Structure 1
């Protein structure tokens, strides 16, 4: 799915919401609500009034890594983006060139045997491409130290060119983030959950909304070419699987917070729509043809017109709803990317025309 629209550069969110002026907090971003042909405009802190008692929000507990580390190939400076930890101890990495502005630009990865010198005496050797069709990400082996230690001591969050300046790692953590025992995490923030605050979570719980934690460690996306997602590690615990199934058996709605949460839950669902506890790797790509078996709604950021994630949104709500929502987002000057505004997508129901716009 490609949207027939262009996102003006000035609609990129350059700094987090809480840095845009006095009194601003994470939950002060705007919230676009789409269902069918209906679109409503809100502020994110109004979310408790837009969901119902008995609804379930599925949230990703993956923490964001300081995944960018400076290095050298010979005398040439490079930046290594650590994407995904493999079961054999290797890491999928992307090598990029510094652009002189604190961000990076694409470079040819590899070839096999390329050695990168990193800080602290750590060395990285590229061994083979992650995918036969792309040389962007490479499986690489690290010696002279551990990757968690390297990232902790010398890493910084991955930053893209539309942002104004470097930010501390805390800015890239969501309220749901939990550190993993083995140092795994997400190379890029599961950003749909960023607007949540502890106060807002408490208010939602007090109104009868439940939360189901899952984990999916997201890898490095392509900033230049919008590739389908690579296999990613995920886990759906038993308690969350039971809660999701109970809500689906009742009158509540299962609303995923972020495309990562959708991928995790749908990967754990059988053809019968029953979610079962599981963990491992998922290569699932949710498309309109595959559809969704569990998720009723999706809270997500605004994606580029070429992004493969748009197929997932279409699977949840239909093409017409996504077209209308994105046209409204442009008209309303919503902000894109990880520090930007968010979009609540719900499927159209037969009684939509009678629905109170404040109870979508």
Structure 2
């Protein structure tokens, strides 16, 4: 069990979300960087999709009221356990009474704290994810607060090397698959969407110009600042279903990228959709950061998904071999 001893707003419990309820207006929620979440669980030998702590406001500190294994993934927060520095993307063992501290990251937006057995909160509609808009799921449907105690689920003994072990972050291991422009802008691949051609010449400008993540962005959607784009004619559209990654353009002309708490429906025209394999990178984009959209093909999207799947499977295999070797030595 852990206790939160310092936190900011918007830190929550998340898992892979609650799909299947959009037809009744319930957003899926879930981790903004599901890749980081999945790797944290793999390092601990957890079942896929168990709940973790998503940290997006810092500093963040927790104490281990009972000893147990944990993993840190996502943004490098210069983590310390009782003042001793820990590498990013790392799994380690904590003793009862030790304090884990996460500082503001130098880059990226969100860190994930995974616990052996997962964060044990009640399931709502098959998920432990927090829906802040609906005030349900997670820890009483709200953000984490000082004094909150979070139990971990039942788990078999976790075998970790002394001092812990970790993995090469995906941005480094797969840098050829996930390039960044020379000026530091994030390159996000997307496919043209249903109303793309309604924007005429502005559709070309959507792809060419840089966009900045606005301060009005949140888990529901990233609002982008830049030279506005507009359709060549005003069209009346019925509301239609939307999912994370859909890029809509409201009348003001600055796009909105739907994120984990995406609306279930909307009537703004859709100019593009971020490929699923790049959504974790969007989830790590900070307020004020710059990105450029790059046209992708379905074949390219599938190739990137295969590379990610191979990366994840390599981590899974390595972690399993480490545990088996430690069990054999015990």
Same fold, TM-score > 0.5, yes or no? no
| TM-score (structure 1 length as normaliser) | 0.26
Higher relative contact order (CA 8 A, sep 6+): 1
